[in-house]
Amino acid sequence: MPHEMTRRRAILAAGAAACAAACTRRPAPGREPLVSVLKADYGDGLFDAVRRLLVEHKVPLKGRRVVLKPNLVEYDESTAINTNPKLVLAVMEACRSLGAAALTIAEGPGHRRPTWDLAEAAGYFAEIPEFEKTFVDLNLDEIEEVKFPRPAPDLEALWLPQTVLACDLLISLPKMKTHHWVGATLGMKNLFGLVPGQVYGWPKNILHWAGIHECIVAINSAFPNMFTIVDGIEGMEGNGPIQGRRKHAGVIVAGADRVAVDATACRVMGIDPRRIRYLRMAQDAGQTEEQNVRQIGEPVHAVRTDFDLIPEYRRLRLNRG
């Protein structure tokens, strides 16, 4: 066994070296990933804004089974922890209007078992018609073991929910928040909510023991068909992802390249994406560098809203260029 472990680790180390080499790569001219930054609010114009966004990015929706994955964690009326249900509804209606065959909202909160009660407290029942028929609690879904295309050194596979494994397109709908373990939580980290509590518990502690950054990259490698729409209309600063303060940024950040979207969202928050380890690890075409992303909509400097960082993460602050 020690020999096998050594060999396995050597292979993974070689993989990591290859990834590091990939970090220095740049996309071919004209092939830069597209990321939209839109000014937005939770008002009546949200549906039109999201629909335009999906059309602009040519998101394949017609006839597709789509899962919307919001960030639903805990509820505290004094701050902004969860993806706003108005945005979830706007995305759902926009997908429906563009021909999606089936739409499911799905989430598996990481700390608390009563998922439906969280959804009620967070306003999902009130805002989303027939929410109960649309929602799947991923903590209790049917599951299947999945080996990761890009395994973490200490985590090669996980049991994951069938609802998401069987969909044609996953739309990650994270809240724009600071995070006290990884710096920022956005579209990629949002996939931790896919991991079933019925197997791994509340919290899904295996992901911390195997390395949070490594697990973010591993889980994302199992879901190649993903589009990200970050709820940055109201986010969270300070001691996120639960105990921070509400922060108005007034933007949506979206695109099909999850690393490029999260890196752009970081820049909007005044965080240097090159200092977020999981983004560095996941990038395959230098997406943490601004010049390697084709950004449309509002320029970052026009919407940048520095999110307050706890002392442990002040080193992540993006210099003003």
Residues forming the site for other proteins (CB under 8 A): 111-114, 116-117, 120-121, 125, 132, 180-181, 199-203, 205-206, 208-209, 239, 242-243, 310, 312
- Complete DSSP assignment for 265-318: HHHHTTB-GGG-HHHHHH-SS-TTSGGGSEEEES-HHHH--PPP--GGGGGGBP
Strands 155-161 and 169-173, how do they pair?
A: unpaired
Distances (CA, A) of 65 to 56, 242, 284: 20, 31, 28
Q: What is the dihedral of CA 278, 188, 145, 92, to 10 degrees?
A: 180
DSSP assignment, residue 210? T
- Interacting residues of 34 by C-beta distance below 8 A, sequence separation 6+: 57, 255, 256, 257, 260, 294, 295, 296
Nearer to other proteins (CB atom), residue 47 or residue 125: 125
- Shortest distance, CB of residue 142 to other proteins, whole angstroms? 16
Nearer to other proteins (CB atom), residue 243 or residue 305: 243
Nearer to other proteins (CB atom), residue 147 or residue 301: 147
- Shortest distance, CB of residue 78 to other proteins, whole angstroms? 11
Nearer to other proteins (CB atom), residue 174 or residue 241: 241
Beta partners for residue 144, in sequence order? 160
- Shortest distance, CB of residue 205 to other proteins, whole angstroms? 4
Nearer to other proteins (CB atom), residue 204 or residue 258: 204
- Shortest distance, CB of residue 12 to other proteins, whole angstroms? 19
- Shortest distance, CB of residue 201 to other proteins, whole angstroms? 2
